[in-house]
Structure 1
Amino acid sequence: MLRPLGRRPWTCRQCLVQRQTRAFESAASQAPRSHIHSIPTDNSAPRKNVDDETLRRIFDSQNFWKDFSQQRSADVSKRAGLVQNQYLTSPDGFRAFANASLQKCQVIVAKVLAAETLDEYRALARNLDQLSDLLCRVIDLSDFIRTIHHDSRIQEAATQAYALMFEYMNVLNTTTGLHEQLSIALSKPEVTSHWSEAETIVAQILMRDFTTSAIHMPPSERQRFVNLSNDISQVGSAFFNGAEPARSQITFHANALQGLDPIVVQQIKKWNNKAPVPTAGVVPRLVLRSVRDESVRKQTYLATRTSSSRQIHRLEKLLTKRAELAKLSGFNSFADMTLSDKMAKNPEAVSNFLTTLISSNKGPVQEELAQLQQMKGSGLQPWDHAYYVHKRVLEYSQSRRSRELSIIPEFFSLGTVMQGLSRLFDRLYGVRLVPQETAAGETWHPDVRRLDVVDESNRHIAVVYCDLFSRPNKHPNPAHFTLRCSREISAEEIAECASLDQSAHPNDGMATAVDPQTNTLRQLPTIALVCDFQEPVSNGSGRPTLLSEQSVRTLFHEMGHAVHSILGQTPLQSISGTRCATDFAELPSVLMESFATAPEVLSLYARHWSTDEPLSESMMRSMEMDRTAHGSIYGAVENESQILMALVDQAYHSIPSAEALKNGVDTTEIYHQVFSQHSSLPDPEDVRPRTSWQGFFGHLYGYGGTYYSYIFDRAIANKIWQDVFQSGRASVDRAAGERYKNEVLRWGGGRSGWQCVAGVLGDANPSNADGRLVEGGDEAMREVGRWGLGRDGGSV
């Protein structure tokens, strides 16, 4: 299977990058279709009420869903392709889809390479954006289908389509004429002066991607770049998948494990009363939380944080290869290379943000540790933290938790939560979710629900496929996928498509609509939301899928990505929706988590699945007290752990390339330097051998140099929540929603993240009064660090 070679000019900047543990985002493009699916233009209250109730029932009632889904899908004569793609009616359709897209790509490449006149150069940015769209529409959709579909024939066909287009993308990455033509266009004022702001931004993005993809280098150096990129991919993958402790187990006498669940002790105990504790998995975590003997906890802590020497070797090889790649590309370090197009711009700015943030978090950390210290009565050690936190949580649970909290999930059926999201979007942005019957063959599994997004004029603006229930062999991680982005489709493009194939739709049959303001055909965002919730029981009780508070937050988080894709409808797909700077991409999703349990938002939707009784104010207060209590027990320390991990990531990737290549990288020494300087609870200096937890830090591969991004967006989200949405008091306020939509969401990647933040906070905000945010830079990064993270805790 072909592997990505690093930054690609022809695919979205987040495409092909798997985000471990959080969302896996594939920012794709979308193309037009000649048949425009329309929704009845009835936006009256009765129609909205019917849609609203239907939305709840299609997720909460299996019988209702069965009847609803069979209205169109039973008509096999009108069989559609997957996600309405006209080609994907059979496994062979993937080959036809890839070949048709490839043919269109070749026409555009020939046109770009032959450009000579001013008009031809003025069309260059849009042509290259369309080329990127054609590649992404195959790569993103095929990559998604091959991982989600249950049919092995479909999986194989999707994999072949993916490989074919990926190989062609590699060819484009070595087509120097494309880079040369874009350079000529950018050098001509009579060309650039005619470009729109979106065209200028896309041209600059593509040129930057060319620069970091070695296309401008001499052939020998370009080949070396490709080889290094391949090496990094292989070593990085081995590192990510190869985490292992130096010792596989530690053996204790069973009597030393007092406090551990007796059932667990029985499971691991041997005939001679010895109990080997594995150093990976759930058991060692249970030991650290519950075993009373401190020496047992200490040995377990040290063993579980000490990596094998071969895993450390993989990491140090990965870092050295990255340093070599950065040097070849003309950058001082890998962090300089990877941060050049981010909001942070350089590693010094990231360091400023993280050190300021850790200082602003220090007071709450000391408060938490002081409470644990008081419980222990003597020097608190790193191996004590989980144990005493667990004791505090248990004490709180026994003294404060009420019956009200235990029945909270009964007010969070999946259908009511989806209903709440639609009502919230309607209040804030004037868009809502409308259940739509699917044609036979349109979805990859019978459980998938289709929702169309409509605005207040009842215009169709997006499609969301919801695959929210668990099933065998389905990946359990929640995720948002953009299967096709929004973009304008020109009349010329429609004509060219027809000239190639009279039966072809310019958007492959997928959703389109006419923009009433410009009378332009648009391809609509097509999105997939994937979760792993249990299906409603079918025992006749009518009991729906009930979500925990954490699951509700997860669903709101993924819908935050979706609403960015829905509302970020730019003219060009390269900057549409979530296709923005990596360290800005999580802002909408993180902010959405705050809406999930705000009292004003809960009042919109939280109702008992059986009685329809609304969640009471006392229950809302109980939920808030519970979150506050847990945040005060471990939230600040959890925040510090995330900051420390980001500091380690920066320390590794900011080493000057020449120094790393000359002296190598001692990852264990650097790890302990960072923790000794910044951690409130570092390993004691006399602990030998030293721990090497960095070997378990798999995100060092996928997030190399950018691990700070999630907590950076958390700090910005907290500030917007406090100042724009008034910590929840304006959480359903239309004025606040329009302000956030117009200053942040609608731009996608077509505006600097700093301009978005400055715009939504406003000139009157003290943090922005002197204009320090608009241009970004070191002081702006420090300012975000001062905003802090709150006390909720959280990890990528």
Structure 2
Amino acid sequence: MLLSSIRRSSRSSRLEHWVCTQCAFIRRREPPQQVQHVKPYTTPSASKSFAKKSRFYPRGFIHHSQATIAAHWSPVDIRQDDLTLRTIFDSPQAWDAFSAVPSGMNVGLFRNGFLTSPHGFIAFARVSLKRARSVVDKVLATSSTQGYRAIVRHLDRLSDILCRVLDMADFVRVTHPDPQVQLQASNAWDLVYEYMNELNTMTGLNEQLCKAMADPEVTKFWSEEEKAVAEVLRLDFSKSAVNLGEKHRRRFVQLSSEISSVASQFVQDMSPEQPVLKIPSSYLRGMDPMTARALTRGGYVHLGTLSAEASMALRTVKDPDTRELLYRASRTASKYTVRLLEHLMKRRAELANISGFESYGHLALRDRMMAKSPEAVDKFLRALAANVRPKAQQEVADMLAEKQKTDPSATHLDPWDKDYYSAKIRQNMKAVTRDDDISSYFSLGVVMQGLSRLFERLYGIRLKPSKPLRGETWHSDVRRLDVISDTDGHVAVLYCDLFYRPGKSPNPAHFTLRCSREIPKEEMAEVWQSSQEDADVPRFYSPEAAANDGMHFQRLNGSIKQLPTIALICDFPQKEGNNSEEPALLNFYQLETLFHEMGHAIHSILARTSFQNVSGTRCATDLAELPSTLMEYFAADPTVLAQFARHYATDAPLPYRLVAEKLKQARRFEALDTENQIIMAMLDQQLHSPLAHERGFDSTEIYHNIQKELSSSPPDPADTRWQGFFGHLSGYGSTYYSYLFDRVLAQRVWDVVFKSGAKDGALQRENGEQLKQNLLKWGGARDPWKCLSGTLKDERLADGGEEAMALVGSWGTRSQV
């Protein structure tokens, strides 16, 4: 699919906590430099246009966007921004005063001149489709060598045109509180997606790209980045079956549609064989009595099989027979759910077969993945399993010893004992820290302040609060931050929607609303000319503004780049009422979550490539979680926390022992948690292997065999069917290993590049530059194995392959405490 790579990384979310069974540093200063006051960039033609078109104010004259150049700020400016950053997140009153919306023209959502009203989404989509068709016509008409040299840039622009609508509309339709805006955003998304499907049936675009790639007189003029984009586009075309005959192409389209439908149905209809358990209340001794009473009717406790209360009961109920009943029910998906899962696997297998692949795993892994093949993933998972097994076996032995304290005759651990005895061991750990003890040191404003200080030390960038203009944000809670580089000036825009509100998605996520991309002068001239003739286009003040839809851009070293525009979504609780003096306080898991999501953002910010197909997180899928997972190590590092963590009321510094105790408790059974993730990743691989082609394909048998081979703890009873609850099989098909892979890589980068935090290693600019220059700034524009090899200074990784995957697995994982 031509655009499959465009939106793949537009949204990144922390789907689960990998170490849990539940799903300002001051850089060495140069001598003070003179502050440069940067004026908005204007041209004589732009000024003339303003005078000429001022009568069109009803359509909106978009004058708020400006280009920026590299600038320097005084220490006073930086200190003031640092203070303001804390106050606008910690004090609703301070935010209201800072962000008081001025009267005047509505600048549109994200300062996009089209989006001043709900219906603006449709105008944005229609104008974008006109521009896209013009680019398609230009590509199809290309016949000269000079024309073929520009074909990658044209196709990348085509991707960007459509992505501008799709990514923004996708975000708005799931986030904006106004149903009418949601509806129009969804309609715009549908319009553009329909055209995308038309493009995926065109063979001409693929043929033109292949001609360009086969001509040395063309490719010798391409940069490394252009060659990477060409390869990405070629793979996307091949995945949409453009090379197949008409009969097979029709079947490919049918299968793609059916797979999408069945995958959604699998997740939506997922259910246990026994939805509710009816248990005599006397059998639930040990469970929280108030919870039990609330669920009791006629002497029986009614527990939803997959409810939080059932999970609590597994951890607390003393009677092993009751725990066995709960465990079996919670691990047995309905037969209908399992049939849906197996139907999905078989249809994916057929799709891969039509496309000429041995299995769906082979199809999925060859595109934008470091592993490249199921065989390489298998090597990684088995090496990791061997590394973690001794520690996992010790953790099982610890639980058995705990069981023997009350049952001296016990010789083994049952599957339904694991949650119960691991909970008892955690409870018995001394000096366990309460969430309230830690959260008092982590007000949201303090944490945002700390992130900005950390980024300034490591990468020379900081977060500067910016007053949003009228119509720019989707809710009054949204804070806008400008990302400022000490060398390049304004480099990105970050919208932070971090507080809970009713109806808002509870899932933390990073959205790329617009990617980095260089805009050629001829493209600006073309858009400027066409905008004068199209009644759907707002009036912009310059060609640069028109080419960016009114959104921010950067003028740097003679070129124009659209700035990365990012949204971060969290659901942190805020005290009721604007008069509350207590700020939003984060527990440690919420702190980790914010650091994680900001890791995605920093990747999008630093990888400001010239082509949007490879910008930011649009890199190898199994590398995309490395920057975000790495940030969790910074969140737990004492030297990092010492730079900002202070009590919101007393300003006392955080006693690090509180964090150390919390981490020690949470990660007490980390090896078993990792082993369970290995089993899930191996299941994902085998369900997408050639086994799915075979007669008698049985996902239950496959899961139990993997458990028997790889689990240090007792496997599930043979009559259970847990795989039916593995919802990530829908979206991650054959790539679930990626999180484990990036977790191992993150630990290695932490140990090698940042010296495990020793001797201020987490705060040294040279260490941040090593990561930035070798990996972060490239996005997907360089071979990820070369990026990793350069980052770790390990030549064994440079060429990738199965042995490199096995090497990564052998490094294993280790608790940070």
Q: Which residue does the alignment assign to 1:74?
A: 102
For the 8 Å contact 2:273–2:335, the answer to whether it is kept is yes
Q: Please state whether the residue corresponding to 1:250 is helix, strand or coil.
A: strand
User: Structure 1 residues 214 and 18, CA, compared in 2 at 3 Å: closer, same or farther?
Assistant: farther
Question: Paired residues, what number?
Answer: 753
| 1:323 aligned residue (341, 349, 356) | 349
What is the CA-CA distance between 1:680 and the residue it aligns to? 1.0
| 1:630 aligned residue (663, 666, 672) | 666
User: Structure 1 residues 10 and 123, CA, compared in 2 at 3 Å: closer, same or farther?
Assistant: farther
Q: Please state whether the residue corresponding to 1:529 is helix, strand or coil.
A: strand
| 2:256 aligned residue (225, 229, 237) | 229
What is the CA-CA distance between 1:154 and the residue it aligns to? 0.7
For the 8 Å contact 1:488–1:521, the answer to whether it is kept is yes
Residues 1:480 and 2:510 aligned together = yes
What is the CA-CA distance between 1:37 and the residue it aligns to? 5.0
Q: Please state whether the residue corresponding to 1:255 is helix, strand or coil.
A: helix
Residues 1:450 and 2:480 aligned together = yes
| 2:714 aligned residue (674, 682, 694) | 682
Q: Which residue does the alignment assign to 2:268?
A: 241
Structure-1 separation of matches of 2:487 and 2:366: 41
Q: Which residue does the alignment assign to 2:489?
A: 459
Which amino acid in the other structure matches residue 511 of structure 1?
Answer: H
Q: Deviations over 1:420-448 (max 9, x none)?
A: 00000000000000000011000000110
Q: Which residue does the alignment assign to 2:650?
A: 611
Structure-1 separation of matches of 2:277 and 2:488: 64
What is the CA-CA distance between 1:597 and the residue it aligns to? 2.3
Q: Which residue does the alignment assign to 1:712?
A: 741
Q: Which residue does the alignment assign to 2:33?
A: none
Residues 1:734 and 2:765 aligned together = yes
Q: Deviations over 1:35-93 (max 9, x none)?
A: 425599551110000000000011001111001001xx222x23211001010000121
Structure-1 separation of matches of 2:152 and 2:12: 28
Structure-1 separation of matches of 2:487 and 2:741: 36
Q: Which residue does the alignment assign to 1:100?
A: 127
Alignment of 1:19-98 (within 5 A): 21=15, 35-38=65-68, 41=71, 43-70=73-100, 73-75=101-103, 77-98=104-125
What is the CA-CA distance between 1:284 and the residue it aligns to? 1.4
Which amino acid in the other structure matches residue 682 of structure 2?
Answer: L
Residues 1:12 and 2:6 aligned together = yes
Structure-1 separation of matches of 2:665 and 2:180: 51
What is the CA-CA distance between 1:452 and the residue it aligns to? 0.2
What is the CA-CA distance between 1:269 and the residue it aligns to? 2.3
TM-score by length of 2: 0.90
For the 8 Å contact 2:14–2:596, the answer to whether it is kept is no
| 1:308 aligned residue (329, 334, 340) | 334
Q: Which residue does the alignment assign to 1:525?
A: 564
Alignment of 1:48-197 (within 5 A): 48-70=78-100, 73-75=101-103, 77-197=104-224
| 2:500 aligned residue (470, 485, 488) | 470
Q: Which residue does the alignment assign to 1:288?
A: 314
What is the CA-CA distance between 1:176 and the residue it aligns to? 1.0
Structure-2 separation of matches of 1:18 and 1:694: 24
Q: Which residue does the alignment assign to 1:383?
A: 416
For the 8 Å contact 1:448–1:467, the answer to whether it is kept is yes
Q: Which residue does the alignment assign to 2:384?
A: 357
For the 8 Å contact 2:9–2:618, the answer to whether it is kept is no
Q: Which residue does the alignment assign to 2:24?
A: none
Structure-2 separation of matches of 1:124 and 1:321: 35
What is the CA-CA distance between 1:655 and the residue it aligns to? 2.2
Q: Which residue does the alignment assign to 2:588?
A: 549
For the 8 Å contact 2:10–2:512, the answer to whether it is kept is no
For the 8 Å contact 1:583–1:710, the answer to whether it is kept is yes
Q: Please state whether the residue corresponding to 1:12 is helix, strand or coil.
A: helix
User: Structure 1 residues 792 and 442, CA, compared in 2 at 3 Å: closer, same or farther?
Assistant: same
| 2:598 aligned residue (530, 554, 559) | 559
Q: Deviations over 1:360-405 (max 9, x none)?
A: 0011111211111001121111100100111111111xx31258x7
Q: Please state whether the residue corresponding to 2:642 is helix, strand or coil.
A: helix
User: Structure 1 residues 214 and 664, CA, compared in 2 at 3 Å: closer, same or farther?
Assistant: farther
What is the CA-CA distance between 1:201 and the residue it aligns to? 0.9
For the 8 Å contact 2:7–2:167, the answer to whether it is kept is no
For the 8 Å contact 1:18–1:702, the answer to whether it is kept is no
Q: Which residue does the alignment assign to 2:445?
A: 415
CA RMSD of aligned residues (A): 1.9
Q: Which residue does the alignment assign to 1:775?
A: 799
Structure-2 separation of matches of 1:402 and 1:100: 57
What is the CA-CA distance between 1:406 and the residue it aligns to? 4.0
Q: Which residue does the alignment assign to 1:693?
A: 722
For the 8 Å contact 1:635–1:792, the answer to whether it is kept is no
Q: Deviations over 1:122-141 (max 9, x none)?
A: 00000000000001000000
Structure-1 separation of matches of 2:336 and 2:443: 47
Give the gaps of 5 or more residues in structure 2. 18-41, 43-61, 405-409, 533-538, 541-545
Which amino acid in the other structure matches residue 558 of structure 1?
Answer: E
Structure-1 separation of matches of 2:689 and 2:588: 39
User: Structure 1 residues 200 and 664, CA, compared in 2 at 3 Å: closer, same or farther?
Assistant: farther
| 1:501 aligned residue (531, 547, 570) | 531
For the 8 Å contact 1:533–1:545, the answer to whether it is kept is yes
| 2:362 aligned residue (309, 333, 336) | 336
Q: Which residue does the alignment assign to 1:749?
A: 780
Structure-1 separation of matches of 2:696 and 2:356: 19
Q: Please state whether the residue corresponding to 1:461 is helix, strand or coil.
A: strand
User: Structure 1 residues 400 and 338, CA, compared in 2 at 3 Å: closer, same or farther?
Assistant: same
Structure-1 separation of matches of 2:396 and 2:804: 30
For the 8 Å contact 1:252–1:276, the answer to whether it is kept is yes
Residues 1:724 and 2:753 aligned together = yes
Q: Which residue does the alignment assign to 2:36?
A: none
For the 8 Å contact 2:450–2:644, the answer to whether it is kept is yes
Structure-2 separation of matches of 1:630 and 1:706: 27
What is the CA-CA distance between 1:16 and the residue it aligns to? 7.5
Structure-1 separation of matches of 2:661 and 2:575: 30
Give the gaps of 5 or more residues in structure 1. 1-6, 24-31, 763-767
Q: Please state whether the residue corresponding to 1:682 is helix, strand or coil.
A: coil
Q: Please state whether the residue corresponding to 1:605 is helix, strand or coil.
A: coil
Structure-2 separation of matches of 1:91 and 1:269: 49
Question: Aligned residues: percent identity?
Answer: 46
Structure-1 separation of matches of 2:508 and 2:132: 33
What is the CA-CA distance between 1:539 and the residue it aligns to? 6.7
Structure-2 separation of matches of 1:428 and 1:289: 42
Which amino acid in the other structure matches residue 790 of structure 2?
Answer: G
